[in-house]
Structure 1
Amino acid sequence: MHSLEDLRAGKLAGIKRLDLSCGLTKFPREIFELADSLEVLNLSGNALQHLPDDLHRLKRLRVLFGSDNRFTELPECIGQCDELQIVGFKANQIQHVPAQALPPQLRWLILTDNRITQLPEALGDCLALQKLMLAGNQLQALPASLARCERLELIRIAANQLTQLPAWLLELPSLAWLAYAGNPLCTEHEQPAVRQIPWRELHVQQQLGEGASGIIQQAHWQSPEQPDKSVALKLYKGSVTSDGSPLNEMAACIAAGNHPNLIGIEGQIIDHPQAQAGLVMHLIAPSFANLAGPPSLESCTRDIYPADLRLSLPVVLRIAQGIASVTAHLHGCGITHGDLYGHNILWEPDGTCLLGDFGAASFHPTAALGEALERIETRAFGILLGELLERCDDQGSQITVLRQLQARCVQPQIGARPRLGEVERRLQV
């Protein structure tokens, strides 16, 4: 994080990224002195309500973040920034998004957790758009013009007021990651029976991790009904995340049931002193690691893998078979994962793998819609399979067959893609 004092003293000359979070109520004009170099401007965590009309003077600006401020409207001046590709204004009080606020090269728009009821039809003119994050607003419909955005790959529309998924949405040729839980279009899903575990039986130890939806901790479970055991706890936060509602995530985890490629659930926590919702889960061995890192600002929709990662064909097959199997299992439960990515897969060097992070999971609104939603997720699997094959040096007929299967999974004609059950069967041949 940079300081306003260093900016005003000229000590930041030539920098490409500026991060200022210091209670700003006005845009510091000294930022314009960085116009020849500045590419990423992060003004999140301030008290800003406006940006200057001449923001376009930052001629190299590619990324603009203004989250956790006090904007009630997406500033129109943003649309005049010709090089701007990524715009993030999460957790403001935005009610209005003017057409003029959309920059011509927009690739990634984040307006999560605002008060937006309507989006401009001009959004469909942003033909470079790849990621659209709108969870936690008050949208009752999406602009039909978005059907023109054929590069759009990830959409987050959970926790809005949508009563249906438009037909064009299910036909977008590049769409692979879709989250829509917590809308009126989602019917009530009956939660299967799950063991209720009193908080008093759990003795919290160290924290294992923290994500947008909750905190994961190791714990010792002492129950009179069984031997003591080490477990993992996930305590869910109540706020809306970029993917949707943490409570929807918990419901999907429970409904997913058991599968060898899922992290097993012991039960649901009850009687937490702060009434937090949570799950008791199997403790994963420390030999597991994330297969990839999440996308960067540059890669936008593609995971970042270790530069030196190489995989043998048997390992590629084992990962692909495991993920195809567990995703087909979820589809059979009426659930789409919504975030089928390498960074949400835990793996061991022999290819043993577990699919995690149900933050974007959604229940199928109807059985009829389920098949189209599953074939959208087939594309996500195809992208993952392609990333695995890129890191495999083996040659031969089996690799050729895998490449042909991968091409079928990512083809633009959604109805021609195989469902994951078929993919699983073909991977076992």
Structure 2
Amino acid sequence: MHSLEDLKAGRLQGITRLDLCEGLTCFPPEIFTLADTLEVLNLTGNALCALPDDLHRLTRLKVLFCSENRFTHLPHGIGRCTRLETVGFKSNRISQVDAQALPASLRSLVLTDNLLETLPQQIGECTHLQKLMLAGNRLTDLPESLARCERLELLRVASNRLTALPDWLLHMPRLAWLAYADNPLPQALRAPTAETAAQPIDWADLTLGEELGRGASGVIHLAHWRAQQAPVAVKLYKGEITSDGSPLAEMSACVAAGDHPQLVRLLGRIDNHPQRRPALVMQLIDPSWFNLAGPPSLDSCTRDRYPAERHFSLDAVQHLLADVASVAAHLHARGVNHGDLYAHNILCAAAGDCLLGDFGAASFHSPAAGAASEAIERLEVRAFGILIDELLDCCAEDDTRLRALAKHCQQANVLRRPAFAQVIEALHSH
């Protein structure tokens, strides 16, 4: 984190990234002295409600973060920044986005947890858009012009007021990661009433231990459960909107997912937490397990990052793909769309076994949704096709049949992609 004092004293000349969090109520004009080098500007956590109209003077600016401020509209000055690719205004008070505020170069737009009721039709002119994060707003529909954003791969519209998923949305050629839970959609696209399927566990029967990790939706603790000798993991949910949607929807998805060898086993749910926090009791994963990849970076936008030293044998790739296809087929058969089928959400063991985790972007569909259900599954199949290519890129050997399957899974015509059951058949016949 940088200081305003250093900025004003000229001690930050030449930097490419500036992070300022000092309760700012106005944009420091001294930032313009960095115009020749500044590429990333992070003003998150201040009290700003406006940006200068001549923001484009920052001629090299590629990334702008202004989350957790007091903006009520997306500043028009943003739209004149010709190199700006990533814009993040999460957790403000934004109720208005005008066409003038949308730069043509935009790749990623994050407006999570605001007050948006509509988006401008001109968003369809952002043809480079790959990631659009809109969870936790008040949207009742999506502009049809968004269909022209054919590079869009990741869309989060959970926890809004959508009453339907438009047909064009489910046929976008590159969309692979979609989250839409917690909307007043038709029953066939809403969470099943499966909560009673989870065993109730009394809070008094648990002894909470050290914190094992925390994410957007909650905190995971080591715990001891009176009913068994082996330690367990307890996830306490925050109940707040995350970038993907509602933690309560994530909890419902964990329950609805049921049992599968490639899922972290759910042991039960806690309904009597002292602060009434929703919580689940899960199988404890050995700390030797590791994430298959790291999450996307600002530059990669929607693509995971693999460590340079990560290499797989072709046998290991085939084993991993078979396991992931199996669990994905299981989920969709139970009406669960994972929504975040990424390598960074896959845990691996040295022996090659894997577990799919993180249901924060999960949504729901049932056969009653008809063609919509088929399309939703095939959107996720595209994510699987991308995973095939990524794993083969980490393999010393290539495989033409797997590459062909990856291409089949990623073809632009959504309904011509295979279902996961067909993917499994193709992998087994390999």
Same fold (TM over 0.5): yes
> SS state of the match for residue 167, structure 1?
coil
Q: TM-score, normalised by structure 1?
A: 0.97
**1:275 corresponds to which residue?**
276
**1:182 corresponds to which residue?**
182
**Per-residue deviation at 1:56?**
0.7
CA contact (8 A) 1:315 1:350 kept: no
**1:210 corresponds to which residue?**
214
**Per-residue deviation at 1:104?**
1.1
Aligned Cα root-mean-square deviation (Å)? 1.0
- 2:202 is aligned with 1:232: no
**1:197 corresponds to which residue?**
201
**1:388 corresponds to which residue?**
391
1:20-41 deviations in Å (ceiling 9; x for gaps): 0110000000000000000000
Equivalent residue letter for 1:373: I
**2: CA distance, partners of 1:244 / 1:319:** 28
**1:341 corresponds to which residue?**
342
**Per-residue deviation at 1:186?**
4.9
**1:367 corresponds to which residue?**
369
**Per-residue deviation at 1:95?**
0.4
1:39-97 deviations in Å (ceiling 9; x for gaps): 00000000000001111100000000000000000001100101101000000000000
Q: How does 1:2-17 map to 2 (within 5 A)?
A: 2-17=2-17
**2: CA distance, partners of 1:35 / 1:413:** 44
**Per-residue deviation at 1:403?**
1.1
1:314-335 deviations in Å (ceiling 9; x for gaps): 1101110110000000000011
**2: CA distance, partners of 1:77 / 1:95:** 17
**1: CA distance, partners of 2:294 / 2:395:** 18
Q: TM-score, normalised by structure 2?
A: 0.97
**2: CA distance, partners of 1:367 / 1:325:** 22
**2: CA distance, partners of 1:303 / 1:346:** 14
**1:160 corresponds to which residue?**
160
Identity over aligned pairs, percent: 60
Structure 2's unaligned 5+ residue stretches are none
Q: Which runs of 4+ in 1 moved over 2 A?
A: none
**2: CA distance, partners of 1:186 / 1:10:** 57
**Per-residue deviation at 1:238?**
1.0
**Per-residue deviation at 1:277?**
0.3
**2: CA distance, partners of 1:132 / 1:294:** 16
> SS state of the match for residue 372, structure 1?
helix
1:267-306 deviations in Å (ceiling 9; x for gaps): 0012111111010000011221000110000000000100
Q: How does 1:132-143 map to 2 (within 5 A)?
A: 132-143=132-143
1:248-276 deviations in Å (ceiling 9; x for gaps): 00000001000000000000012111111
**1: CA distance, partners of 2:414 / 2:350:** 33
Q: How does 1:58-97 map to 2 (within 5 A)?
A: 58-97=58-97
**1:256 corresponds to which residue?**
257
**1: CA distance, partners of 2:60 / 2:397:** 42
Structure 1's unaligned 5+ residue stretches are none
**1:332 corresponds to which residue?**
333
**2:306 corresponds to which residue?**
305
Number of positions where the alignment pairs a residue of Structure 1 with one of Structure 2: 423
**Per-residue deviation at 1:348?**
1.4
